[in-house]
Structure 1
Amino acid sequence: MLGGFCVTRDADSKASTRARLRLARASVDVPTRERAGSALRRTIGTWWEHASESRGRMDRGEAAVASFRSMPTEPPVDAVNAALYERGATVLLPVCEPDFRLRWARWTPTTPLVRSAVVPIDHPPGPTVDLAAVADGPGHQLDVGLLLIPALAVDESGQRLGQGGGYYDRFLARWRAHSRHGVLAAVVYDDEVLPAGSFDVLPHDQPVDLVFTPDRVLDLRDR
């Protein structure tokens, strides 16, 4: 998809890398996106099944996946969310709040969505829970085994290039501070996995554990 994508290493490298990736994504046609969505459904669904079998505490019906709703040019995960729900997972979607705070609300395929007052996305109506908090009402008992997050690209060391909004950076710093957190995974197209060092990394940037693409699972936990 990216073809002759070239990474720059100047002071504006993050901005220019984002611009190139967005342009490449905008060129992806509908059939290609649909095939990617079907492949991601299989890839992530299979990973979740294996993880559920190998970890006794991930009891289906209680284990949770914190996911997201895809923007129009992102790799589609709506079918992934439905598949995980069908496999017994509690699916949570993000709710953007003022001051770049992320909270999460339960979602099912029949949940009506509402428009965010903060950003141009839809989300479940709630109630919401702060997954990065040690305890936050009834949601603190959720066993979040997998946190799926969007990205424009991920390098082979696990560094993620996001959209630059700041919501996930702030949330992930708090999420990582707790010893009991699930697997953190980014979802990108296959050719958005870039060589290590392809873009600038700031001190607050949080690396991911896994990368899901339509064709593979890249496990970076031992790197």
Structure 2
Amino acid sequence: MHGNSPKTLRQDLLRQRKEFAAGENHALATENLITKLNDFLVGDGNLIQSIALYWPIQDEVDLRTALLGWVNSDSGRQLALPFARPDKHLDFYQWQAGDRLTPSQHGVPEPDPSNPQRPVITPDCILIPCVGWSKSNTGSKTHYWRLGYGGGYFDRTLAQLRKNKPNLICIGIAFDWQKLDDAQWSAQTHDEPLDILVTESGVFG
């Protein structure tokens, strides 16, 4: 374990991410990551018709422009943004550029759940930003894991959605340097695995 707690590890990683975002390698790494995601969406992920993205905060990778291009290239495609419920689960509401958003209690812009023109959907794919990530091997299977902000929203939501939609694809978005080893952090029993991890180096899963 890193330092005294996962909280200390998160703080260190967020500081490093801020420094990386201000550095000279950030733009190219981001461009390469988005290219890898786009390659997946037109290749193995070409059957995906709805994607839940995230509104970037704290130097997270901004995928909005790329995903607006993806959705605009096919009239049957949809985008959605998460809304945090009081029970610490997420609902995903349809989203289009220009929609009015309001900040959550955590300061994250969220859709208006009372907007009748933007219903709740269960997306085919959920994109999740990582504060850190790790991988583990079970037999011949490699699992990828996300270290998030510690609220547990995505883990609770994925556990429920996967029961009702087993073919849901959960994709972690991260940079190579955010990889953690077992001495720093390892997934807990309540953590939900990622189906795919996308970094500037490739698509893994």
What TM-score does the superposition give when structure 2 sets the normalisation length? 0.80
Find the counterpart in structure 1 of residue 135 from structure 2.
156
Which of residues 31, 40, 51 in structure 2 aligns to 1:47? 40
Letter in 2 for 1:45: N
Distance 1:110 1:16 in 2: 37
The answer to whether the Cα contact below 8 Å between 2:93 and 2:120 also exists between their aligned partners in 1 is: no
How many residues get paired?
193
Question: How far did residue 78 of structure 1 move?
Answer: 2.3
Contiguous gaps of at least 5 residues in structure 2: 137-143
Distance 2:155 2:133 in 1: 14
Question: How far did residue 21 of structure 1 move?
Answer: 0.8
Question: How far did residue 189 of structure 1 move?
Answer: 1.2
Find the counterpart in structure 1 of residue 72 from structure 2.
86
Matched, 1:122 2:101: no
The answer to whether the Cα contact below 8 Å between 2:33 and 2:200 also exists between their aligned partners in 1 is: yes
Deviation by residue 1:113-158 (Cα, 9 ceiling, x = unmatched): 2333x32111222458xxxxxxxxx756x5x332111211111221
Distance 2:92 2:173 in 1: 18
Letter in 1 for 2:202: R
Letter in 1 for 2:42: E
Deviation by residue 1:100-120 (Cα, 9 ceiling, x = unmatched): 12111111223232333x321
Question: How far did residue 218 of structure 1 move?
Answer: 1.3
Distance 2:157 2:183 in 1: 23
CA, structure 1 residues 83+126, in 2 after alignment: closer, same or farther (shift >3 Å)?
farther
Distance 1:34 1:126 in 2: 34
Distance 1:14 1:166 in 2: 13
Q: Where in structure 2 are the equivalents of 1:16-165 lying within 5 Å?
A: 16-28=8-20, 29=22, 32-53=25-46, 55=47, 58=48, 63-88=49-74, 89-116=77-104, 118-126=105-113, 139=120, 144-157=123-136, 158-165=144-151
Contiguous gaps of at least 5 residues in structure 1: 1-6, 129-137
CA, structure 1 residues 196+83, in 2 after alignment: closer, same or farther (shift >3 Å)?
farther
Q: Taking every aligned residue pair, what percent have the same amino acid on both sides? A: 22
CA, structure 1 residues 193+79, in 2 after alignment: closer, same or farther (shift >3 Å)?
farther
Distance 1:37 1:78 in 2: 13
CA, structure 1 residues 145+184, in 2 after alignment: closer, same or farther (shift >3 Å)?
same
What TM-score does the superposition give when structure 1 sets the normalisation length? 0.74
CA, structure 1 residues 127+87, in 2 after alignment: closer, same or farther (shift >3 Å)?
farther
CA, structure 1 residues 79+213, in 2 after alignment: closer, same or farther (shift >3 Å)?
farther
Distance 2:111 2:28 in 1: 26
Find the counterpart in structure 1 of residue 139 from structure 2.
none
Letter in 1 for 2:65: A
CA, structure 1 residues 93+120, in 2 after alignment: closer, same or farther (shift >3 Å)?
same
Distance 2:23 2:111 in 1: 26
Find the counterpart in structure 2 of residue 186 from structure 1.
172
Question: How far did residue 30 of structure 1 move?
Answer: 6.5
